[in-house]
Amino acid sequence: MSDMNTAAGDQGIMLKLMNVESAYGPIKAIRGVSLKVRKGEVATVLGSNGAGKTTILKTISGIIDPRKGSVEFKGQDITARDPAFIVQQGLSHVPEGREVFPLLSVHDNLLMGAYTRHDRDGVARDMEMVFGYFPILKEREHQDAGLLSGGQQQMLAISRALMANPELILLDEPSLGLSPKLTKEIFEIVVRINRERGTTILLVEQNANMALNASDYGYVLENGRIVMEDTCAALREKEDIKEFYLGMKETGVRGERRWKKKKTWR
Ligand code: ATP
């Protein structure tokens, strides 16, 4: 990846974090995080509970201002800019835990996603587009979002982000609280959105198996630092990943030790 450090190597880079540090009071949640997401790819940040994945996404979308470092989107410095400004540049964030507006209908939740847009025809077209991906939302269009199941709320949260017509979607743990079957369905649609619409996606996940299969390039985050990066095809073959994130290594101890054992990454 040596060319990635040169200006020419930045061609085709949609998102670039350089040495980002973000904290909650005295707690440094991420330290020296540098990563790049190429236009058109699905990238993932893997990490266990509390590793700092959500903090990375919140720092990118302007919810948290970093203490150090920079965030560039499409070559523009968006470090610590207002979240509404960042959405307008074409970057949408699907937060952890979905956070739909429970007392608004599905339809109105989707319109909220399009609040920065003025092209009514485009908004109507995109609403049909999201109903194409998630037909159940069309059936529930006039119901309150709070009455939807967890999986349907996740679909709505992704759809609401799509309604802003983004070039990049930040997706925070879409598998959280969902059955394996539903998780698989949602990941398949995320990949379809990427392939069919060319939307670039940065996904953070504890479910390494799903994330590595859905993504092109991956970063591994431990205690707020990136400890490994590679193509997902290569990451899937690494012994550390198999043992600690996929639980596949036959000699590995599954369960608690997978997350708790101190590991020197190589
Ligand atoms: P999870 O999968 O559990 O959401 P994560 O990898 O997304 O984990 P973060 O939510 O980014 O991790 O949290 C990183 C660290 O920052 C953790 O140690 C967490 O306890 C701490 N943290 C997160 N939010 C806050 C907050 N609002 N105030 C104080 N500390 C926080």
Q: Is 49 in the pocket of ligand 1 (CB under 6 A)?
A: yes
Q: Is 27 in the pocket of ligand 1 (CB under 6 A)?
A: yes
H helices present in 115-255, as ranges: 120-133, 135-139, 150-162, 180-197, 208-214, 232-237, 239-244
C-beta of residue 58 within 8 angstroms of C-beta of residue 64 = yes
pLDDT tens figures, 181-236 = 999 999 999 999 999 999 999 999 988 989 999 999 999 999 999 999 999 999 99
pLDDT tens figures, 239-261 = 888 887 776 554 444 444 444 44
Other Cβ atoms closer than 10 A to 134: 22
Average pLDDT over residues 102-127: 94
Average pLDDT over residues 77-96: 95
Q: Is 22 in the pocket of ligand 1 (CB under 6 A)?
A: no
Q: Is 26 in the pocket of ligand 1 (CB under 6 A)?
A: no
Which two tokens mark 159?
């759809």
pLDDT band at 262; cut points 50, 70, 90: very low
Other Cβ atoms closer than 10 A to 10: 15
Average pLDDT over residues 44-54: 93
Q: Is 206 in the pocket of ligand 1 (CB under 6 A)?
A: yes
Q: Which residue puts its alpha carbon closest to atom 11 of ligand 1?
A: 52
Indicate the average pLDDT of the chain.
89
| Per-residue 3-state assignment (H helix, E strand, C coil) for 205-219 | ECCHHHHHHHCCEEE
Q: What is the whole-number distance in angstroms between the Cα of residue 21 and the centre of ligand 1?
A: 13
Average pLDDT over residues 12-20: 97
**Fold annotation for 11-90+166-182+194-239:** Rossmann fold (3.40.50)
Q: Is 213 in the pocket of ligand 1 (CB under 6 A)?
A: no
* CA distance to 82, 127, 253, per residue, from 21 (Å): 18, 37, 33
CA–centroid distance for 52 within its chain:
13
C-beta of residue 222 within 8 angstroms of C-beta of residue 47 = yes
Which two tokens mark 7?
């200006």
Predicted local distance difference test score (pLDDT) of residue 8: 52
C-beta of residue 201 within 8 angstroms of C-beta of residue 194 = yes
Give me the residue spans of the domains in the chain.
11-90+166-182+194-239, 101-165
Q: Residue 60 pLDDT > 90, yes or no? A: yes
Q: What percent of the chain has pLDDT over 70?
A: 89
